[in-house]
Chains A and B, each alone.
Chain A
Amino acid sequence: MNGNWLPQAPLTASGRPVLQPGEVERSLQSSVDLEAEENPRLTPLRSGLLALTTHRLIWIDESSNSGYAIFLANVIHAYPPKKSIRSMFHSPRIRLQVSVSAEGRIGEKGSTSEMITIVIRGKNDPDAFFSKLWDALRSRPWEVEEKNGEVTSVDGGVSGPGSRDGPSNSVWIAMPVVGVSGILRKEQEIWESTDKSLQEAFQDLNALMSKAKEMVSLAEKMRLKLLSGSSAHANVANDEELGSNQEMQDWLLSVGIASPVTKDSAGALYHQQLSRQLADFVQRPLERSGGMIAVIDIYCLFNRARGTELISPEDLLQACALWDKLDVPVMLRKFDSGVMVIQNKTHSDEEIFTRLKSLALKPNALRMGVSPSDAAIILGIAPALAKEHLLTAESKGLLCRDVSPEGFRFYVNLFEEIDPTNTHLVKHHGLFEAWVSAASVFG
């Protein structure tokens, strides 16, 4: 697919567009073509996914995992899908007039322009899509950002003790309130002041929103700093400090997905897109929890990060189930007991087994065994997950179980070490001898 006539748009590993700061996804359409009808030299882009964000139109080819973008800032005009008898037999088309730079690059500022046609082949609602596109074109969030600096400085000038009196440089003459005209003028003044305070209020809201973005980026920065700090000083830091760092990280980790996939924005593509977003999201928690994490934990983390756009457990499971079909680096795994976890495809149980075995070989564990909660504390994972690991290690013959009124414990597997023809023989320097010496301390 040769889409070189449009600027490249970076995608995540699971094929979701990488959004810029402040950019929010608005709508997704499947099977969309992009054509430059009046310029046959430009190869049309066939049946891709079209994402509309507040800043861009991003066309994604799912087979090659590549994306191309049209910046809305450079869209001069958009023409709605035509309503005519003829159009009933055609896929709906939305036409965009996009500026072209002097060097002939489409989608850059320039004096000439090119018509690009969006052909919507999927069973989508082209009118709804167009109205969202229109909204995005009209609200022009990129201009707000450009002016952000100015706005805040103006704010600073106006706010202060004199703000209630209105702009100080305007001429202000107190009119006596007399007669009908006086009442009218009074009304007019009330109107004006309401209007002004409303405007101020909205300005505050804007300021708050831009501040919120700053807060998110601040949180991000702190998190990175904490991460690098904790790895560098892991040996030096005392437990308490480590604990508070951990807590802080937990808080910061859950600071937001800026543009959550919603049923509203993605429509029929909801689960698929949710699945991709989830795949991107789980990377970080997975890294922290050693390559495996319970689905329940992810559900909580994911919804916390989504803020108000909560998803149901079914949606999460469906999103996980779709990973099989998508080329993503994570997978859903179901243990025999029914416990479900998310893990990296590259994750192997070998490392866990090695750790469990060395754990079971400690003198105390030789004598008393290992309970799932012991293993959970030492491996730093949930007890339910630790139990799954212990059971898997048992099924591999590394461990064996002891069920008693005291509970469920695991011991290193000695059965293989014992010679059935000479049950009193204890081989030297073997596991069995190690156990005998550990057990005799107790007995």
Chain B
Amino acid sequence: MQTLGNFKLPQFFNYPPYFTLQPVRETREKQVQLWKELILDYCKSQKVFIIGLEEDFPLFINSAIERSLSHEAKEVFLSSLVSEGRAEWMDKGHKKCLILWLRIQDWADCILNFVRENGLENGVMTLEDIRSGIESRGTELEGIDRGVLVRALRHLEQKGKAAIFKGSATDDEGVKFSA
């Protein structure tokens, strides 16, 4: 079984047609579906938030069978994630893609759980604390993309469960929970 770091690749990763964009509609639909699952699984396990289409991305290259995805294929697979709300293009040129293995509202729920588990209701945290503090170590929130975190907090703010404020001492922003 092949692995990428600590990520276990499925058997069909060595199937050469998996790396060629299939022209026949039904076959392609199946292929796109398999790629979407694989991209989400991989990004989740490796905590990858951004895929640059013009940079080498380990998942898109299989050196064992000497195959790699064409630019067109990458764009097709990521676009299909975007259309499902599981990814977002970060620029008009489709050069960078933000992968949301959890949707923004799911991230917000995740933060609420975290707050409750740590008894931080009505507490205050900096964004940096949430990303790399002791409390978040080992949770899904560890290493969360700052942009994604801010959007999840804004989502909570709209529901009246959090308030973002500018920190006075540092440049860092803080958040006050009111769950």
Contacts and interface: CB of A to CB of B under 8 A. Distances in A.
A432 B11 contact: yes
A420 interface: yes
Given A404-B67, A420-B33, A424-B8, A439 B14 contact: yes
Contacts, number: 72
Contacts of B10: 418, 423-424
A423 B34 contact: yes
Contact of A420 (B8, B20, B34, B64): B34
A1 interface: no
A239 interface: no
Nearest to B65: A443
Nearest to A436: B11
Contacts of B27: 394, 397, 400, 413, 415
Interface residues of B, number: 26
B11 A369 contact: no
A356 to B, nearest CB: 15
- Helix, strand, loop or mixed for chain A's interface? mixed
A414 B15 contact: yes
A401 to B, nearest CB: 6
B171 interface: no
A423 B30 contact: no
A418 B14 contact: no
- Helix, strand, loop or mixed for chain B's interface? helix
Nearest to A414: B15
A409 B17 CA distance: 9
Interface string B1-31: 0100000101110111101101110110011
B25 to A, nearest CB: 9
Contacts of B12: 414, 418, 423, 432
B128 interface: no
B8 A418 contact: no
Contacts of B106: none
Contacts of A418: 10, 12, 30, 34
B66 interface: yes
A401 B11 contact: no
Nearest to B70: A403
Nearest to B10: A423
Given A397-B27, A400-B27, A424-B8, A443 B14 contact: yes
B161 to A, nearest CB: 33
Given A439-B14, A443-B14, A401 B20 contact: yes
A400 B17 CA distance: 6
Q: Which of B12, B20, B41, B66 has the most C-beta atoms of chain A within 10 angstroms of its own C-beta?
A: B12
B145 to A, nearest CB: 25
Interface of B: 2, 8, 10-12, 14-17, 19-20, 22-24, 26-27, 30-31, 33-34, 37-38, 41, 64, 66-67
Closest A-B pairs by Cβ, 5 of them: A402-B16, A415-B30, A423-B10, A400-B17, A402-B17
14 contacts: A369-B16, A395-B24, A400-B17, A401-B22, A402-B17, A402-B20, A409-B16, A414-B12, A414-B15, A415-B22, A418-B34, A423-B12, A436-B11, A443-B2
Given A397-B26, A404-B20, 15 more contacts: A394-B23, A397-B27, A400-B22, A401-B17, A401-B23, A414-B15, A415-B30, A418-B30, A420-B34, A423-B12, A423-B37, A423-B41, A424-B8, A432-B11, A435-B15
